[in-house]
Structure 1
Amino acid sequence: MKLTIGLIGMFAFLQVYSIQAVLPVLMADFSATEVQVGMVVGATVMAIALMSPFLGMLSDAVGRKSFIVGALLFLAIPTALIAQSPSIGWLGFFRFMQGLSVPGITVVTIAYIGEEFKGRALTELMSFYVSGNVLGGFLGRFLLGHLHELIGWRLGYYLMAMLTLVGALWAWKMLPTSRCFEANPNFRSAVQTLGEHLTNRYVVTACLLGACVLFSLVGCFTFINLHLAKSPYNLSTGALANIFAVYLIGVIITPLSTTLLRRFGSARTVRVAVMVSMFGVLLTLVTPLWGVIVGLAIMSSGVFITQAATISYIAVNVKKGRSLASGLYYMGYYAGGTLGAWLCGITYARGQWSLTVWLLLFVQVLALLVASFGMIKTKSRTA
């Protein structure tokens, strides 16, 4: 079960950030600006933000497994169409189409875990799911960066689409059918639940924290590529893809976060993780490449622990309309990512990487304030 949940998490995020590894190439191929390529990253993130609560409500009405498999199948279509993009605008459109299907995997999988498992099993599976997200985020960037050097990014996306079809087949074969799901097809009831969630301190705090987290991650890992493609580093797409190996640290650290959560609780764990992430961002200002890489590793590790803690915070404390609650969290999470791609693009164009770092630190201070004053003690020590 851990393997299956982890792989579903991986396939969900295989496409979301893959484009980051070839941003310098896209700027040359399409004569695009920093803000334009930033919004190509943000297009998928924006669609995920828009669709997350709606797919959550729909899944609460019709089921879990069929939704996950169907979303993976749909995701393969725009992934293949990206290879045909005639302009940066069309590329952004197909990236947006990718994002429309991702919540059908992410939001529904979290709801599935929350319904089918309790206590320690729940927090462990959540950590494996986030580890899968981390692995998928790394593999998407790593594979496309190296595929571009071998066959070009366009043919690379055809192969990425085939991998997504493999993910759909795996989920169909290996994911057990829900046993504890109770359908709620009443739209009025769903709207009532939505209203309750919008005034639920657990949900609102998690949404705000998630927005700050993904703002930092998207802003950092999008524009560090442009920074490292310039002098004195002059890294190729393959070398930039290798930089994303720092993500693999998150695959190891995230399952270990379960121990931190049980011992210290979500609030304290998040506060420490955000401060660790801030230190990592500051470290990327050093000149030696190894120092930048260490900074990225520290920054991303803090982000992954924060994400795992926040997702568990919702799963433990929200009992009604779990899929909708997850959808609202992801709406806030990816809205933050969209803002990160856009605002960091403007900031990078005006002040290069150094000014971008200060914007990232400002947002992480906001995350620290949310964690300090918004998060309250969870109802279960397993959180």
Structure 2
Amino acid sequence: MSSLSLSAGSSARLNIAAFAGGFATFINMWCTQALLPVLAASFHVSEARTGLTVTAPLVATAMAAPVVGLISDRFGRKKFILGAVILLLVPTILAATARSFEALVVWRFVQGLLLPFIFTITIAYIGEETSGAAAARLAGTYMSGAIFGGFCGRLLAGMMTSGFGWRAAFWAIAAMTLLLAAIIAVMLPREKLFQPMYGVRRALGAFPLHLSNVELVATCVVGFGVLFNLVAVFTYINFRLAAAPYFLGPAALGGIFVVYLGGVVMSPLSARLANHFGRRRVMAVAAPLVWVGLALTLAAPLWLIGLGLLLMSSAIFMQQTLATAYVSVAAREAKSTAVGLYVAIYYVGGSAGGVVPGRVWHGYGWPGCVAIVCAMQVMMLVVALRFWRAA
């Protein structure tokens, strides 16, 4: 079944399922990011240490992603995607009942171990079951769901925390995850073009091939930078806005992530622009937009900070869509392990983005964080222009 043979009904179901998969991944991934000041006060730990609730699932995802690719390349797609969403309920509920900060971090880490079964396998599924422009559009739909899920996770967690405490936030996330599992179970068609790769040795043999593929490695570098930038910006902006002169609470901090909705529009748009103009040209436009957005966040008025975050995040989500869609294009075979490698490096970037700017933050504040992100954008742009195909 090629992308051309998909019926209208099957195409609609696949788009709904892809959106739900992205939503389920990132509503869980980022739900604590707006709660860091509250968690610091609740558990009597430093603000920097609360960042572990963000980095723990990122580290776990980076560790699990390559293994997930090996398993999925052998045994299939849908059953792992659906099973992971259902199993996410367990650590999410246990996080709600955590009695210590260490326990909360552990359950966040367990969440991270399950998330690659959604992200990695869904991208591999898209690359196998569709092709060409259809694959790029479906990747854009997935990224729209991921972005909307990231926004809703932060907003829902912030609102529930303001009204009922941070534990209620995790219960609300668990209820939403259950609903998404039902949607995926009904809407995601079982894979038709999947070809199992037998033998661990053969699967492991794909990694040297991937690492010798300069296009794929360059895409992984861009992915590293994408999540580094997003985590760096949206972790440390919370501390800036929770302090004087803004004093924003958890609900307001969650509301700041409304800027993510720009990515819901820009992800599918960037896929269409890449099909028409080429991914390198779109990348060359996205990076300057990030720099302009970051410059606006250095201003004092809250509305200018919000506008800068909107512009910056929309442009980064353009880059994320370009990189995610290009993984299956750049990979010659064993697409799931290629996506696993990409996801691992992507989340290593996110882990670094939560930690590396910490020292700069204490010494130089928000301007120092902006400088780091701008430098990362330069590296991403140079790599993409040098190693991505012009088409």
Return the TM-score normalized by structure 1. Answer: 0.96
Aligned to 1:268: 281
Match status 1:288 vs 2:301: yes
Aligned to 1:381: none
Match status 1:377 vs 2:390: yes
Letter in 2 for 1:58: I
1:144 corresponds, among 157, 175, 194, to 157
- Which secondary structure state, in structure 2, belongs to the residue aligned with residue 231 of structure 1? coil
Moved over 3 A (4+): none
1:340 corresponds, among 341, 353, 376, to 353
Aligned to 1:118: 131
- Which secondary structure state, in structure 2, belongs to the residue aligned with residue 177 of structure 1? coil
Aligned to 1:39: 52
Take 1:33 and 1:373, find their aligned partners in 2: how far apart are those partners? 42
1:89 corresponds, among 102, 109, 115, to 102
- Which secondary structure state, in structure 1, belongs to the residue aligned with residue 261 of structure 2? helix
Identity of aligned residues (%): 39
Match status 1:238 vs 2:265: no
Residue by residue over 1:240-265, the C-alpha shift from the partner in whole angstroms, topping out at 9 and shown as x without a partner, is: 11111011111111111122101221
Aligned to 1:194: 207
Take 1:135 and 1:345, find their aligned partners in 2: how far apart are those partners? 27
Letter in 2 for 1:44: P
Residue by residue over 1:290-339, the C-alpha shift from the partner in whole angstroms, topping out at 9 and shown as x without a partner, is: 00000100110111000111112122232411111111111111100000
Take 2:362 and 2:88, find their aligned partners in 1: how far apart are those partners? 32
Aligned to 1:255: 268
1:98 corresponds, among 91, 107, 111, to 111
Take 2:98 and 2:64, find their aligned partners in 1: how far apart are those partners? 23
Aligned to 2:122: 109
**Does the 8 A contact of 2:137 with 2:272 survive in 1?**
no
2:27 corresponds, among 6, 10, 14, to 14
Aligned to 2:4: none
Letter in 2 for 1:96: F
**Does the 8 A contact of 2:16 with 2:187 survive in 1?**
no
Deviates more, 1:264-273 or 1:93-102: 264-273
Match status 1:217 vs 2:230: yes
**Does the 8 A contact of 1:35 with 1:346 survive in 2?**
no
Take 1:29 and 1:317, find their aligned partners in 2: how far apart are those partners? 46
The Cα shift of 1:195 comes to 1.1
Deviates more, 1:366-375 or 1:57-66: 366-375
The Cα shift of 1:87 comes to 2.5
Matches within 5 A, 1:50-65: 50-65=63-78
Aligned to 2:342: 329
Deviates more, 1:64-73 or 1:340-349: 340-349
Aligned to 1:162: 175
Letter in 2 for 1:130: M
Take 1:356 and 1:47, find their aligned partners in 2: how far apart are those partners? 25
The Cα shift of 1:351 comes to 2.5
Take 1:244 and 1:74, find their aligned partners in 2: how far apart are those partners? 27
1:354 corresponds, among 367, 376, 381, to 367
- Which secondary structure state, in structure 2, belongs to the residue aligned with residue 15 of structure 1? helix
Aligned to 2:312: 299
Take 1:56 and 1:373, find their aligned partners in 2: how far apart are those partners? 28
**Does the 8 A contact of 1:314 with 1:325 survive in 2?**
yes
Take 1:302 and 1:81, find their aligned partners in 2: how far apart are those partners? 36
Match status 1:128 vs 2:112: no
The Cα shift of 1:76 comes to 1.4
Aligned to 1:80: 93
Aligned to 2:10: none
Take 2:188 and 2:359, find their aligned partners in 1: how far apart are those partners? 43
Aligned to 2:3: none
Letter in 2 for 1:147: M
RMSD: 1.2
2:81 corresponds, among 68, 71, 82, to 68
Residue by residue over 1:180-207, the C-alpha shift from the partner in whole angstroms, topping out at 9 and shown as x without a partner, is: 0011121111111111001111210011
**Does the 8 A contact of 1:39 with 1:342 survive in 2?**
no
1:205 corresponds, among 202, 211, 218, to 218
Letter in 1 for 2:275: R
Matches within 5 A, 1:176-195: 176-195=189-208
Take 1:83 and 1:351, find their aligned partners in 2: how far apart are those partners? 35
**Does the 8 A contact of 1:38 with 1:345 survive in 2?**
no
The Cα shift of 1:287 comes to 0.2
Deviates more, 1:218-227 or 1:355-364: 355-364
Aligned to 2:7: none
Aligned to 2:40: 27
Letter in 2 for 1:114: G
**Does the 8 A contact of 2:219 with 2:342 survive in 1?**
yes
**Does the 8 A contact of 2:266 with 2:315 survive in 1?**
no
The Cα shift of 1:145 comes to 0.2
Aligned to 1:366: 379
Residue by residue over 1:158-182, the C-alpha shift from the partner in whole angstroms, topping out at 9 and shown as x without a partner, is: 1211211222222112110011001
Residue by residue over 1:34-75, the C-alpha shift from the partner in whole angstroms, topping out at 9 and shown as x without a partner, is: 321222211111111111111011100000000001111121
Deviates more, 1:265-274 or 1:125-134: 265-274
